[in-house]
């Protein structure tokens, strides 16, 4: 029965906590407090890029836990929500933080959107939080307390809020300019890891998926973030943005210098 219960979450026999900590450059003692989990989350955000390079190379994106560990920890790569949040789930399992997955509906793009995003709901110090390291340039940067409905929540230079919808779902919004912009909605129905296989297949293979349409690479840092999209690099520092254009021939150099991504030669 215990083995069946474990299969609700990502599994990886190759996961090693110390190797993970080395990957994200985390040398402190792990504390099971909101401050401690926040430090872990931010260390991963600042070390592991959100990226869809393999999707652009028309590769199959595996949800096997050992494959994810190899890609991010061993090969020093990144990934999108399933890989990035899946890896953090392995960490939470290892250190004993209760959590489960929810399916979220991205609302950034207009039109009909399926629930293709994976978020984590964790209980830390008897409070319930949303944890999400895998929503690209608009990811929250700390665990977000679900009880803070309707309040402005500052994460460094970004401002977020959670509201309740008519369907009694949570809606995560970010302040852009002077207006609230929808990011995604979700309810608290627990999902199993295997439930995200169809959404993953859509994200890496369907022509309507944003990941198949253009290259996206994001790396957060303590002062801001860097966002690469197609042939443009946006550098945000203390809320101020600079945009640089580059040629295709410069891509690998930019990936290495700005995102610490060294791609394997095919």
Quick one: DSSP state of residue 248? G
Torsion of CA 253, 259, 260, 261, to 10 degrees: -70
Higher pLDDT, 89 or 263: 89
Place of tokens 């665990």: 143
Looking at residue 110, its pLDDT comes to 73
Distance CA 235, CA 223 (A): 10
Sheet of 99-106: strand order equals 144-145, 127-131, 117-124, 99-106, 179-186, 170-176, 158-164, 153-155
- Interval 171-199: pLDDT, tens: 999 999 889 999 999 999 999 999 999 99
Distance of CA 95 to the CA centre of its chain: 19
- Interval 27-38: pLDDT, tens: 999 999 999 999
Looking at residue 2, its pLDDT comes to 41
> What pTM did the predictor assign?
0.95
In contact, 89 and 99? CB cutoff 8 Å: yes
- Interval 196-237: pLDDT, tens: 999 999 999 999 999 999 999 999 999 999 999 989 999 999
Distance CA 217, CA 149 (A): 31
Q: Residue 23: pLDDT band by 50, 70, 90 thresholds?
A: very high
Distance CA 200, CA 210 (A): 12
Looking at residue 53, its pLDDT comes to 96
Share of the chain above pLDDT 90, in %: 91
Residue 74, number of CB atoms within 10 A of its CB: 12
Lowest mean pLDDT across 13-17, 34-38, 111-115, 178-182: 111-115
Q: Residue 1: pLDDT band by 50, 70, 90 thresholds?
A: very low
Looking at residue 177, its pLDDT comes to 87
Higher pLDDT, 155 or 4: 155
């Amino acid at each position: 029965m215990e083995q069946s219960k474990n299969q609700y979450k990502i599994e990886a026999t190759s996961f090693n906590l110390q190797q993970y900590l080395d990957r994200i450059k985390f040398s402190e003692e792990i504390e099971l407090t909101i401050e401690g989990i926040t430090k872990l989350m931010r260390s991963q955000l600042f070390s592991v890029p959100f990226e869809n390079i393999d999707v652009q190379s028309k590769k199959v994106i595996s949800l096997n836990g050992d494959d994810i560990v190899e890609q991010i920890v061993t090969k020093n790569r990144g990934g999108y929500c399933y890989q990035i949040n899946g890896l953090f789930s392995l960490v939470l399992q290892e250190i004993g933080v209760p959590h489960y997955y929810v399916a979220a509906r991205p609302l950034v793009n207009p039109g009909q959107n399926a629930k293709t995003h994976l978020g984590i709901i964790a209980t830390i110090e008897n409070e319930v939080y949303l944890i999400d390291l895998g929503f690209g340039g608009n990811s929250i940067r700390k665990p977000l307390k679900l009880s803070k409905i309707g309040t402005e929540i500052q994460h460094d230079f970004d401002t977020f809020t959670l509201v309740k919808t008519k369907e009694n779902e949570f809606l995560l919004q970010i302040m852009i300019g002077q207006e609230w912009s929808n990011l995604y909605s979700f309810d608290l129905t627990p999902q199993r890891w295997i439930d995200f296989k169809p959404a993953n297949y859509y994200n890496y293979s369907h022509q309507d998926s944003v990941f198949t349409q253009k290259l996206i690479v994001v790396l957060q840092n303590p002062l801001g973030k860097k966002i690469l999209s197609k042939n443009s690099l946006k550098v945000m520092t203390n809320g101020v943005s600079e945009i640089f254009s580059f040629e295709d021939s410069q891509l690998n150099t930019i990936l290495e210098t700005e995102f610490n991504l060294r791609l394997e030669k095919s």
